[in-house]
Amino acid sequence: MKAEFGGYAGKILEVDLTQGRVKRTSLDPDLATKYIGGKGLGAKYLYDHLPLGCDPFGPENLLIFATGPLTGTLAPGSGRCIVSTKSPATGFWLDANCGGSFGPEMKMAGIDAIVIKGKAPSPVMLLVDDEKVQLGEADFLWRKDTFSTHRWIKDKFGEEFRVACIGEAGEKRVRFASIISEMRAFGRGGAGAVMGSKNLKAIAVRGHCPITIAYPESFMKACREAFNEIAIHPDSGGGRQKYGTNTILSCMNEAGVHPVRNFQKGIFHGRSALNEEEIREFYVRNKACYGCPIYCSKISKVKEGKYKGAFVEGPEYENVWSFGAHCENADIPSIIKAEYLCDLYGLDAISTGNVIGFLMECMEKEVLEESDIGFPLEFGDNEGMIRAIHLIGRREGPALLWGEGVKRIAQEVGRGAESFAIHVKGLEMPAYDPRGSTGMALAYATSDRGACHLRSWPIGAELLSPEERIDPFSIEFKAEFVKNQQDLFTVINSSVTCLFTIFSLSLRHIVHFLHSVTGIESFASSEEILQSGERINNLVRLFNLREGLTKADDKLPQRFLTEPLKDGPARGRLVDLETLLKEYYFIRGWDEKGVPTPETLKKLMLP
């Protein structure tokens, strides 16, 4: 790495689990300039090195933990890390994002990315202690939950180590298993199952290297301005500090886009018992990721009742929905217990709640019977919900199938179940009904990793913006909005910093940070920075096309195309996806089949 580049550690740690070898290589400065880091770095590595059509559970699949030039600096929201791999849930691209301190610790250990390939012959853990790197036996940790694994590693090696590990769900290859890092998660798409397939139980990192800043005075000026903007912004400085991510809960419900009963309705009438004020009663303290002033994370605990003792960093809005309205459950203690169990087993809570809500509708429609489940399971049954999570986490009994995810369950069950299997590309959908937001409909359909609200979040501009709000039912300008926001969010996820900061800050702030930290001249240009985001998104599209994706995969579940909403402001509405897609492809510079044109590839300097 060129000495004049700040922000980067300048090293990639390559780990071959099959051979039991580790080595450090230099980060290519041209790669950093074109792809920034984080998601961009993972995209370039996967595109260049992953064999065509490889099995996500095969030893040739790569698992990449990557930081960006802002990770671990004083830039607000810089305590994040990205993991990239081929998803076992979709068979396509996956990157998952995690907060906390794992990413900054990697950077301070002198590493921009850890690239893991192969499969260990028996369970192992990776220990990184500054320059010292070793693979150690972990047979005794196999079958241990994530909390016990964290505790053992910290007791053995020291509290300063930051840990990322899998639980039983990852070991047993639940296709939506997550990687847990100190009560935070690399959640979506099954990265934990890939880690389990490699017999890698945990990674522990400790570092003491300083992070260099190219232009310290300019950087500190940018930090002061950004922290002031966050402090006075009503979302970051007020709502998220008070309620965490649940600050939007009542708004989404009143807008009629808070899905109920597996997306059968848009308004949860149990909201009187399940709203941000009621959930706040369970908070015991605030918590922030590394260097973040927002403090959006909350530690919650159940102090009485049948779920007494359950605790969680959350519950987050998406998980309140997946185990709440989605399952028509208004019992907050059971929601906290459900998220606690997901952390314990290492499960993506969004997908887990989706699977259970889908099974509940299968029972409702008599597609499945009680003998298929093994116990009663109906909407509103929080005890059945908790029982199902245990089975999924352990992958026992009927959960041998449930751990495959909604798409594969529906294909196996048949009998019309695919008509209400809610997923995109095999990834279960999060907590916003697209019939009430045309922008969100397009964002879901075109997301590179499947149904996702973190590639573009137009619902914020459509339903939450205090001024110049966009009509949520109009298709006008939605393709351009989604495309531009996808490119911006990819810049954020390559930098790597938290998406929540962008609600208070602007691209100007991000450009100021990137240029002052790295000293890379092209990073001083908003146009060039956004083009990096566009380049990364097109490279990921090429990766997905190579893996078999077609235009037919840029679709929404049948329910949103043929079943109008029956309640709320979006009552009677369906999604006109074909018109949205046609305009989106044109604006992206893709042909009518969704393939980037030669002119687009040339402009972005892609193969």
Q: What is the pLDDT of residues 179-223, one digit of tens each?
A: 999 989 999 999 999 999 999 999 999 999 999 999 999 999 999
* Residue that terminates a domain, selected from 206, 231, 259: 206
Are residues 467 and 541 both part of a single domain? yes
Q: Is residue 517 part of a domain?
A: no
Q: Do the Cβ atoms of 343 and 323 come closer than 8 Å?
A: no
DSSP string, 116-181: EES--SS-EEEEEETTEEEEEE-GGGTT--HHHHHHHHHHHH-TT-EEEE--HHHHTT-TTB-EEE
Are residues 172 and 26 both part of a single domain? yes
Are residues 33 and 170 both part of a single domain? yes
Are residues 75 and 195 both part of a single domain? yes
What CATH number does the domain containing 381 carry?
1.10.569.10
pLDDT score of 111: 97
Are residues 276 and 334 both part of a single domain? yes
Which band of pLDDT confidence, cut at 50, 70 and 90, is reported for residue 25? very high
Q: Is residue 163 part of a domain?
A: yes
Are residues 361 and 458 both part of a single domain? no
User: What's the rounded mean pLDDT across residues 40-67?
Assistant: 97
SS3 201: strand
Are residues 311 and 454 both part of a single domain? no
Sign of CA dihedral 508, 512, 515, 521: positive
pLDDT score of 242: 86
Which band of pLDDT confidence, cut at 50, 70 and 90, is reported for residue 274? confident
Residue 346 pLDDT more than 90?
yes
Residue 2 pLDDT more than 50?
no
pLDDT score of 563: 96
- Which range, of 89-93, 129-133, 504-508, averages the lowest pLDDT? 504-508
User: What's the rounded mean pLDDT across residues 598-604?
Assistant: 98
Are residues 269 and 381 both part of a single domain? yes
Q: Is residue 419 part of a domain?
A: yes
Q: Considering only CA atoms, give the Rg of the chain.
A: 22
User: What's the rounded mean pLDDT across residues 480-507?
Assistant: 94
Percentage of the chain beyond pLDDT 90 is: 89
SS3 210: coil
Domain residue limits at 137 = 11-206
Q: Is residue 289 part of a domain?
A: yes
Q: Distance between CA 354 and CA 428 in Å, rounded?
A: 6
SS3 25: strand
Residue 270 pLDDT more than 90?
no
Q: Is residue 193 part of a domain?
A: yes
Closest CA to 601 of 523, 539, 547, 525: 539
**Structural domain count of the chain:** 3
Are residues 134 and 178 both part of a single domain? yes
CB atoms under 10 Å from CB of 604, counted, come to 18
Residue 13 pLDDT more than 80?
yes
Closest CA to 7 of 244, 200, 214, 202: 214
Cis geometry, peptide bond prior to residue 511 (ω within 30 degrees of 0): no
Are residues 164 and 290 both part of a single domain? no
Are residues 255 and 124 both part of a single domain? no
pLDDT score of 271: 64
Which band of pLDDT confidence, cut at 50, 70 and 90, is reported for residue 236? low
Q: Do the Cβ atoms of 77 and 104 come closer than 8 Å?
A: no
What CATH number does the domain containing 496 carry?
1.10.599.10
Residue 237 pLDDT more than 60?
no
pLDDT score of 469: 82
Cis geometry, peptide bond prior to residue 458 (ω within 30 degrees of 0): no
- Which range, of 242-251, 270-279, 591-600, averages the lowest pLDDT? 270-279
The dihedral formed by the CA atoms of 558, 266, 176 and 305, expressed in degrees to the nearest 10: -150
Where do the DSSP E strands lie in 153-289? 162-165, 179-181, 184-186, 200-206, 283-287
Q: Is residue 32 part of a domain?
A: yes
Are residues 167 and 287 both part of a single domain? no
Sign of CA dihedral 422, 425, 431, 435: negative
pLDDT score of 1: 47
Which band of pLDDT confidence, cut at 50, 70 and 90, is reported for residue 504? confident
Question: Residues with Cβ < 8 Å from 509, sequence gap 6 or more?
Answer: 222, 225, 226, 229
Mean residue pLDDT across the chain: 94
What CATH number does the domain containing 184 carry?
3.60.9.10
Q: Is residue 514 part of a domain?
A: no
Q: Is residue 449 part of a domain?
A: yes
* Residue that terminates a domain, selected from 362, 395, 428: 428
* Residue that terminates a domain, selected from 375, 402, 428: 428
pLDDT score of 235: 64
Q: Distance between CA 329 and CA 332 in Å, rounded?
A: 8
Residue 238 pLDDT more than 90?
no
The pLDDT tens digits of the residues spanning 365-380 come to: 999 999 999 999 999 9
The pLDDT tens digits of the residues spanning 292-343 come to: 888 888 999 999 999 999 999 989 999 999 999 999 999 999 999 999 999 9
